[in-house]
Amino acid sequence: MALKPLDSDKLYHRCDLSDFGFTSTNDLTPDLSALGQQRAMDALQFAVGMHHDGYNLFVSGSTGVGRRELVSRMINERAKQGEAPQDWVYVHNFERAHEPCMLCLPKGAGQGLRQDMQQLIERLLIQIPATFKSDEYRNRVQEISDEFEQREESQFQALGEKAHEEQITLMRTPSGYTLGPLREGKLMTPDQFKALPEAEQTRIKAALEQLNAELTALVRELPKLQQEHREAIRALDDDITHSVIDPALSGLRQKYGTESALLEFLDQVHQDMIENVDDFFAQDKDENAKTPLHKLARSDTFRRYRINVLVSHDHNGGSPVVVEDIPSYQNLVGRIEYQAHFGTLSTDFSLIQPGALHRANGGYLIVDAQKLLSYPFAWEGLKRALRNREIRIDPLEKMYGISGTRSLEAEPMPLKLKVILIGERRLYYLLKAYDPEFSTLFKVYADFNEQLDRSRGNLEGYLGLITQLVQEEGLAPFALSGIERVIEQSSRRVDDSTKLSLNRGQLIDLLREASYCATRAGSSQVKSEHVSQALKMARTRSAQYSELMQEQIERGTIMVATEGSAVGQANGLSVFQLGDQRFGKPARISATARLGGGKVIDIERETELGGPIHTKGVMILANCIGARYARNSPLSLHASLVFEQSYGMVDGDSASALELCVLLSAISGLPIKQSLAVTGSINQRGEIQAIGGVNEKIEGFFELCKNRGLTGDQGVVIPATNVDHLILDQAVVQACEKGEFHIYAVKELDELISLLFDRKPGKADEDGRYPPASVNGCVQQQLLDWTEQARKLSGKSDN
């Protein structure tokens, strides 16, 4: 019984939504659920719900399925329910400046503390100079000075009175104090002194010596008295300084009284301000005195009092969610910046910058796995932070081991967050296989699905998804026919009429372009013809290479026959993938056969142009020949197979069924129809197996036949298991309905043979012999003849 072509209803599996009760997307409700991704969303919920270490998440799936959007939406919703983490700030270490201290503050307090410290400096820049210029301060200084001057004067006055009793005077000179004898109230001259009796001179000299000793002792006590004077002034200054600084800092202590670490820092600030009160006379030192106060407060003089707010959160902001698009090492773990001054680089705690881990601490960090692995040390830095549960900022030169200068050793921040890596499945399994730490740090895997069944329940969800996208994009509403066409194209995307594509990127593009076509046509709704027009425009934009190949085939430059019959050659079908565009083109497959040692040569493999899957297909068909036709005798065959005019890589086994038929033609000498093109792989039992790209392959051969002129004999043979995948272009369907083109579906080799050779394939009897006039019989007989010839040639023929 001759094999009949497929009916038209098998060539295009239409989507009928007439019983869903709507006319356009205006009648539908948007669906914000993760359609078809329940497995992945369950994994995501599990990861964020586990509070133990290591339950970070790796998300995979094909590009366009909406991984990022769905993950971000779910994480953001979860984060809103969480609490904002505490603030973290770096402050100056007054004991070891190269080891900045980290303080943990209540959420939202970081910015407030920084402003409070800034205002404190500005206030002290006004109050301290004003206090030291006040009349009260000057009076107290004058009192202290007068007191010490009086003490000094009284001591010298007492010595002077004692000297006067001895008729000696105490005089103040520019160089100090001196003693001299008196006579009649006047200083005695040397001549007058010599004129005195010797006893008198002796008495005066003794008195002078005694008084000189007392004067010397008194002068020696002057530095001590002056030191006491300075200490009294210093004590006054300290009292005045305390009277200004203490009240200013007491307000901060009361405001942040529950934070012990901060109070300790404020104590250190207090002590440093007392010791360096002169810094607050900056405006007095400024001759022009034109520097604004807020700039003075931000100057390097007061840098040590600054608060470097590393991370600050709003009280009601929920848990942080950070998406790091450039996950370099420094962007992840933070960095220490440097500033140049006269050719010298310097840094301090105020130049420490946070990384994504700091900002996401207490929440969620979303990172692209491919980008993360492309930056040096980024992956190792992330693992170290997760493993040690802390964020330590180490410069890259330290990581490379080339640091020759001393840098900051910032106190690390405790870390607790969830990391979500988004990447390809290949990356996940490579990390799983080659990084021992990966499995301990990323225990949860969420794999996003690319397709789902085209059932009624799923169609309802898909309608909600389309409605949601139409509203989000602000597109024209889609009519019933337009939605049906969109769903049919969705099934074609996954090469299966029983499935729906979950590639949101491709779906959004189609909706946008169809809406554009409808708007340009002046239609208020997007209908089926507008969707078809959008698809046609997309194909046309990417069709240049396809049209060039088609032109070469039609001109005969690439030889493909579509009429008649020939021995040892037939039309195979290939699919080309260029970016997002797929198209099919026919290619001639030829074979030669002769007497030999049972070897089938794959020319593509021999020239290193054939991939391993294609080679596997050729090996299978070679064994299939031996199993069918030479079970009880040697296979005395030397054959070759090749894709004619193929100058690139050939891979896949979708031509193996046709290659076997071409080889049978070469062996038997029977011609094959050139009006048919064939696709399908074969197993060792002669069963025809499904292949990919069936729609594009059929349309590629149809286009060639149409351009050359349809004869009614042309068509394509496909595996029966591919029938459910058919969603062909309407031009192909209409040609098949008119009988101008045919699509045949075969299950096993004999059905394919009957179509290609237009002759019965023949069935084997109990001895494995095929009817002589059948295709299988001709092949078997030729192989037996070659075997007999081989025996004769080897001198082993029977007598």
pLDDT tens readout for residues 313-334 = 876 678 999 999 999 999 999 9
| CATH of segment(s) 561-792 | 3.30.230.10
Strands (E), 43-100: 57-60, 87-91
Residue 380 pLDDT greater than 70, yes or no: yes
Q: Which two tokens stand for residue 112?
A: 């407030």
3-state secondary structure of 642: strand
What superfamily in CATH does domain 39-85+319-448 come from? Answer: P-loop containing nucleotide triphosphate hydrolases (3.40.50.300)
Q: Nearest Cα to 244, choosing from 283, 278, 274, 281? A: 274
What is the pLDDT at residue 12? 93
What is the pLDDT at residue 663? 94
CA 110/CA 105 separation, integer angstroms: 6
The 8-class DSSP code of residue 27 comes to: G
Backbone angles phi, psi at 628, to 5 degrees: -85, -40
CA 492/CA 499 separation, integer angstroms: 9
CA 123/CA 644 separation, integer angstroms: 89
**Are 327 and 367 contacting, i.e. CB atoms less than 8 angstroms apart?**
yes
Confidence of residue 282 (pLDDT cuts 50, 70, 90): low
Mean predicted confidence (pLDDT) in 602-607: 88
Mean predicted confidence (pLDDT) in 34-46: 90
Looking at this protein, which amino acid is placed at residue 643?
F
CA 552/CA 650 separation, integer angstroms: 19
Task: Determine the distance from the C-alpha atom of residue 653 to the mean position of all C-alpha atoms in its chain, rounded to a whole number.
Answer: 37
Length of the chain counted residue by residue: 799
User: C-alpha angle with apex 408: 403 to 412, nearest 5 degrees?
Assistant: 110
Enumerate long-range contacts of 6-10, CB under 8 Å, 24 or more apart.
6/723, 6/726, 6/736, 6/742, 6/743, 6/744, 6/745, 8/733, 8/736, 8/737, 10/723, 10/726, 10/743, 10/745
Mean predicted confidence (pLDDT) in 137-163: 74
What is the pLDDT at residue 799? 41
**Are 537 and 531 contacting, i.e. CB atoms less than 8 angstroms apart?**
no
258 vs 483: which has the higher pLDDT: 483
Domain boundaries along the sequence of the chain: 21-36+451-541, 39-85+319-448, 130-281, 561-792
Number of H helices, E strands in the chain: 28, 30
User: pTM score, two decimals?
Assistant: 0.81
Q: Nearest Cα to 702, choosing from 738, 673, 740, 671? A: 740
Residue 550 pLDDT greater than 60, yes or no: yes
Mean predicted confidence (pLDDT) in 346-352: 86
Residue 220 pLDDT greater than 80, yes or no: no
What is the pLDDT at residue 470? 95
Residue 430 pLDDT greater than 60, yes or no: yes
SS (H, E, C) 92-121: CCCCCCCCCEEEEECCCHHHHHHHHHHHHH
CA 594/CA 664 separation, integer angstroms: 12
Residue 738 pLDDT greater than 70, yes or no: yes
Residue 636 pLDDT greater than 90, yes or no: no
Enumerate long-range contacts of 604-613, CB under 8 Å, 24 or more apart.
604/641, 604/642, 604/643, 604/646, 604/650, 609/646, 609/648, 609/649, 609/650, 610/649, 610/650, 610/651, 611/649, 611/650, 611/651, 611/652, 612/651, 613/651, 613/652, 613/653
The residues that are catalytic are 654, 697
What is the pLDDT at residue 42? 92
CA 219/CA 473 separation, integer angstroms: 96
What percent of the chain stands above pLDDT 70? 93
Q: Which has the minimum average pLDDT: 297-306, 404-413, 465-474?
A: 404-413
203 vs 67: which has the higher pLDDT: 67
Assess whether the region 21-36+451-541 and the region 561-792 belong to the same CATH fold.
no
CA 632/CA 683 separation, integer angstroms: 21
Residue 157 pLDDT greater than 80, yes or no: no
Q: What pLDDT digit, counting tens, does each position of 765-790 carry?
A: 888 889 999 999 999 999 999 998 98
Burial (CB count within 10 angstroms: exposed 0-12, middle 13-18, buried 19+), residue 50: middle
Confidence of residue 487 (pLDDT cuts 50, 70, 90): very high
What is the pLDDT at residue 55? 95
3-state secondary structure of 200: helix
b/e map 22-40, b = 16+ CB within 10 Å: eebbeebebbeebbbbeeb
Kindly write down the DSSP assignment for every residue of 295-362, as one continuous string: HHHTSGGGGGG--EEEE---TTS-S-EEEESS--HHHHH-EE--EEETTEEE--GGGEE--HHHHHTT
What is the pLDDT at residue 202? 79
Looking at this protein, which amino acid is placed at residue 117?
M
Looking at this protein, which amino acid is placed at residue 409?
E
**Are 722 and 708 contacting, i.e. CB atoms less than 8 angstroms apart?**
no
Mean predicted confidence (pLDDT) in 737-762: 94
Q: Tell me the CATH architecture of domain 21-36+451-541.
A: Orthogonal Bundle (1.10)
Task: Determine the distance from the C-alpha atom of residue 168 to the mean position of all C-alpha atoms in its chain, rounded to a whole number.
Answer: 98
What is the pLDDT at residue 261? 87
